[in-house]
Amino acid sequence: MAADLPARLDQGVRSGELANLHAVFIARRGKLAVERYYEGTDDRWGTPLGKVAFNATTLHDLRSVSKSVVGLLYGIALAERRVPALDTPVVQAFTAYADLARDEKLRGILVSHVLSMTMGLEWNEDLPYSDSRNSEIAMERSADRYRYVLGRPVVLPPGQQWRYSGGATALLGHLISKGSGMPLLEFARSRLFSPLGIEEVEWTPGTNGEAAAASGLRMRAGDLAKIGQLVLQEGVWNGRSVVTKGWIAAALTPRTEAFEGVQYGYHWYLARRRDASMAYMAFGLGGQRLVVIPSMDLAYVIFMGNYYRSDQLKSVFAVQNVIHSAIR
């Protein structure tokens, strides 16, 4: 790792090239390599927080990085036989919706399709999250979050095409909570966070009072990096299997193409790098990133506050370019 990486990050923030960067945390070969924090404007799930001076103890919205954490939690719950198997029609797990379960097309959507976001339901999150027509926003504003998701028309055969869906994660989060008999955050604390020594964490509730599984998790940068390190270590932490090796492999197996050059597993993104090695990633609105590259024994976290900027991808790519140019 180039010794001047912290200085290059600092300069990028000063120049505005790395606009509203909040934190960078890099672990290499299981040890802290770089840790940097800055001041910037931030939100808590859409509520403005104003200017925040970030440090190692500051919680930050993960936004859709939350989805990849839920993907791991489902694997933990599955190993405990608390949630439906992958070949289960998902609507059958929602016994209160017997009317929906009569739909033959809907019964074709399996838990595996929910995990890979290939449900085939009508769903559109391409609109801004300030727009009530955005499907995730409409879900949160509905009287019944899960009925709303499962009540969408089936427009494609399940498994045929990836379609980004916070609704998929909402279903998974509810199944974990229902099967474990615990709120999602409580299950996450007991099975994932506590074994990793993660103590300070929040999961913002949605409008129905349950955790907003798709986007509500708030963590410290260093703690999110532990999740990345856990993936690098195939689910093992301090000699203990926290997530089974089999589930890590399943989650990181390509199931469908998300977009050009990027595949999707079970709630994790995957991409082949120029040197043919693999990168495993979790993405969140505003520039949130967790990146794991096993061939480099590398896990890193980026936190940014560009939730409403049209050029937010440009900004986070600029941060990643600085990081990758410094890795040796």
> Which residues have a Cβ under 8 Å from the Cβ of 134 and sit 6 or more positions away?
124, 125, 127, 128
Q: CB neighbours of 207 closer than 8 A, spacing ≥ 6?
A: 140, 141, 145
Confidence of residue 41 (pLDDT cuts 50, 70, 90): very high
Taking a C-beta distance cutoff of 8 angstroms, is the pair 284, 276 a contact? no
Q: pLDDT grade, residue 324 (50/70/90)?
A: very high
Question: Do 108 and 31 share a structural domain?
Answer: no
Domain assignment present for 99: yes
Q: Which helix (H) or strand (E) holds 117?
A: none
What number is the average pLDDT over the span 11-34? 97
* CA–CA distance, 276 with 155 (Å, rounded to integer): 35
Residue 275 is assigned to a structural domain of this protein: yes
> Which of these three, 123, 156, 177, is where a domain ends?
177
DSSP structure string for 29-80: TTEEEEEEE-EEEEEETTEEEEEEE--TT--EE-TTHHHHHHHHHHHHHHHT
CATH number, domain containing residue 26: 3.40.710.10
Domain edge (last residue) among 126, 153, 177 = 177
Residues 6+ apart with CB under 8 A from 159: 112, 113, 116, 118, 120, 256
Q: What is the mean pLDDT of the chain?
A: 97
- Does a structural domain hold residue 195? no
Inter-residue contact 266 to 126 (CB < 8 Å): no
Per-residue burial over 210-223, b = 16 or more CB atoms within 10 Å of its CB, e = otherwise? bbbbbbbbbbbbbb
Structure tokens at 78: 């599955």
Q: What does the pLDDT look like over 107-153, one tens digit per residue?
A: 999 999 999 999 999 999 999 888 899 999 999 999 999 999 999 99
Q: Is the pLDDT at 299 greater than 80, yes or no?
A: yes
Domain housing 304? 5-62+218-325
Residue 94 has pLDDT above 80, yes or no: yes
Task: Tally the residues of the chain.
Answer: 328
Same domain, 164 and 77: yes
Residues 173 and 80 in one domain: yes
| Rounded CA separation 286/39 (Å) | 15
**Does a structural domain hold residue 213?**
no
Q: What is the pLDDT of residues 50-59, one digit of tens each?
A: 999 999 999 9
For the chain, the domain total comes to: 2
Top-confidence residue, 274 or 56:
56
Q: Is 68 in contact with 217 (CB distance < 8 Å)? A: no
Distance CA 278, CA 71 (A): 19
Going by DSSP bridges, is the β-strand pair 31-37/21-28 parallel, antiparallel, or unpaired?
A: antiparallel
Same domain, 235 and 303: yes
Query: Tell me: the pLDDT tens digits for 77-87?
Result: 999 999 999 99
Based on the domain organization, do 57 and 75 belong to the same domain?
no
| Cα angle, residue 284 at apex, residues 281 and 62 outer, rounded to 5° | 105
Find the mean pLDDT for residues 306-316. 92
Q: What is the mean pLDDT of residues 175-193?
A: 99
- Measured at the alpha carbon of residue 45, what is the angle toward residues 43 and 49, in degrees to the nearest 5? 25
Over its C-alpha atoms, the chain yields an Rg (Å, rounded) of 19
Q: Based on the fold, state whether residues 134 and 168 are members of the same structural domain.
A: yes
Q: Which pLDDT belongs to residue 130? A: 84
Question: Count of alpha carbons within 13 Å of 199, Cβ hemisphere only?
Answer: 2
What confidence tens digit (pLDDT) does each residue in 220-270 have?
999 999 999 999 999 999 999 999 999 999 999 999 999 999 999 999 999
pLDDT tier at 64 (50, 70, 90 boundaries)? very high
Q: Is residue 201 assigned to a domain?
A: no
Does 189 map to a domain? Answer: no
| pLDDT at site 190 | 99
pLDDT confidence bin for 28, thresholds 50/70/90:
very high
The pLDDT value recorded for residue 239 is: 98
pLDDT of 310 = 86
The CATH number of the domain holding residue 76 is: 1.20.58.710
